[in-house]
Each structure stands twice: as C-alpha cells, then as structure tokens.
Chain A
Amino acid sequence: MNIFRLAGDMTHLASVLVLLLKIHTIKSCAGVSLKTQELYAIVFATRYLDILTSFVSIYNTLMKLIFLGSSFSIVWYMKYHKTVRRTYDRDQDTFRHWFLMLPCLLLALLIHEKFTFFEVLWTFSLYLEAVAILPQLVLLQRTRNIDNLTGQYIFLLGGYRGFYILNWIYRYFTEPHYVHWITWIAGLVQTLLYADFFYYYFLSWKNNKKLQLPA
C-alpha cells in the first residue's frame, strides 16, 4: 500500500458516500444516471468475486464490502425507494448501457492476463469500469442543472482513478516485475473520459458559477 493508492481508495470511498448522502438525506437522485450505477454494481460484482476465496487484508475485504454494499444500495434506492424513484429522470437517462457491456466482455475474452473464469471476469470489470461513467456524462449534458453534490460525486469518482495512475507509476518504479498493461491502459482511458468534465468543473469552481457542460 502506498499513499497514492490510499488517496485513491479514500477518494473513491468519498464519491460513493457523497452520492449515498445525497440520495439518503434529500431523498432525490435528480441528475444521477441509474445506468451508470447499475454498471458500477456489475463492475464491483465481477471484480470482487474473489472476496470469499482470496484474503489480502482486512482493509481490502472491508473496502470491497463497502463498495459492493453502497453500489447495490444506490441502485436499490433509485429503482425501488418510493420517494427517490420518482426523482429519477428516466426519459433523459437513455444511454443503452447494455451495449457497453458486450464489447467489454468480448475484449476481456480476447485480451486478458490469464484465461481463467475469474481472470476474464476481472478484466471485464476493468474495461466496464473505464466506460461506466458514459451514461452519467451524457445525462449531465442533457440536464442543464447539475446540483453540486452530483458534480462533486463525479469529480471524486474521476479523481480516484487519477490517484491510481500515480500508484501504478510508483509501484512500477519500486516493485520489480510490477507490470500490468491492461490495468494501466484501462485506467488511463477511464481518467481521460473525465477530462472535459474536469475542465468545466474547474472553470465553474474558478468563476464560482453553476457547473454547465456544453450541449
């Protein structure tokens, strides 16, 4: 564990807590894409299949449980909670996210580190996470108003993978044979997808204006 990875995990944790806080306290999920939340639940479910078989550390297992629990409860809130579900703008959140999953699965079957059931699903979760934010970014461009909790959620979610990139660079230079091209490229693509969001988020913060993504 290094400071970059810890910062990344804490930023990731903060992003899901900000979203849970928003949904739980103001009982609203306006501006949040259910499609992205469903993709994230699938990302964690396919990433953490080894939670019962391989034990890395208390921290690792605890964080996996938190990410699994939070992502599935966010999906539950948005789909089934009587008050929250009414605030979900389903006619705006129309990204066909199942079309994202198939290419990720095919790519995982083609490009992976080891051709085992767990490893292919783990690689699938990596590719899926890289593109999981797309429905949310599309929704953001459609709904003009972005409340700052949703903006913070996306900012933290994008930032965590940026810290992970620093972690990979650090581990590459400090650990012999630490090379994971697949993880690195997927992580880089994921972070680059946030580039324009980061730009407009920074502008809105600098000019102290509402966050507006160009249509």
Chain B
Amino acid sequence: EEEYFDHDEL
C-alpha cells in the first residue's frame, strides 16, 4: 500500500 504515515492520534 502507499507509504503513508497513518497516525491520526496526538
């Protein structure tokens, strides 16, 4: 999958 940075929490 695309190399994305998936942190949606603080």
User: Which residue numbers of A lie inside 8 Å of B, CB to CB?
Assistant: 5, 9, 12, 47, 50, 53-54, 56, 60, 63-64, 67, 116, 118-119, 122, 164, 167, 183
For A8, give the chain B residue with the smallest CB separation: B10
Tell me whether B9 and A5 are in contact (CB under 8 A): yes
Number of contact residues on B: which range applies? Answer: under 10
- B1-10 interface with A by 8 A CB criterion: 3-5, 7-10
Across-interface contacts of B9 in A (CB, < 8 A): 5, 164, 167, 183
B interface, over-half SS: loop
Q: In the complex, how many angstroms separate the beta carbon of A2 from the nearest chain B beta carbon?
A: 11
Q: Kindly count the residue-residue contacts between A and B in the assembled complex, taking CB atoms under 8 Å apart.
A: 24
In chain B, what residue has the closest Cβ to A49? B5
List of 3 A-B pairs having minimum Cβ-Cβ separation, nearest first: A50-B5, A56-B8, A54-B5
Query: CA separation between A67 and B4, bound complex, in Å?
Result: 23
- A50-B10 in contact (CB<8A): no
Please report the C-alpha to C-alpha distance between residue A54 and residue B8 in the assembled complex, in whole angstroms.
10
The answer to whether B7 and A12 touch across the interface, beta carbons within 8 angstroms, is: no
A152–B9 Cα distance when bound, in Å, is: 24
Q: Please tell me which one of the listed residues B7, B8, B10 contacts residue A67 in the complex, with CB atoms under 8 A apart.
A: B10
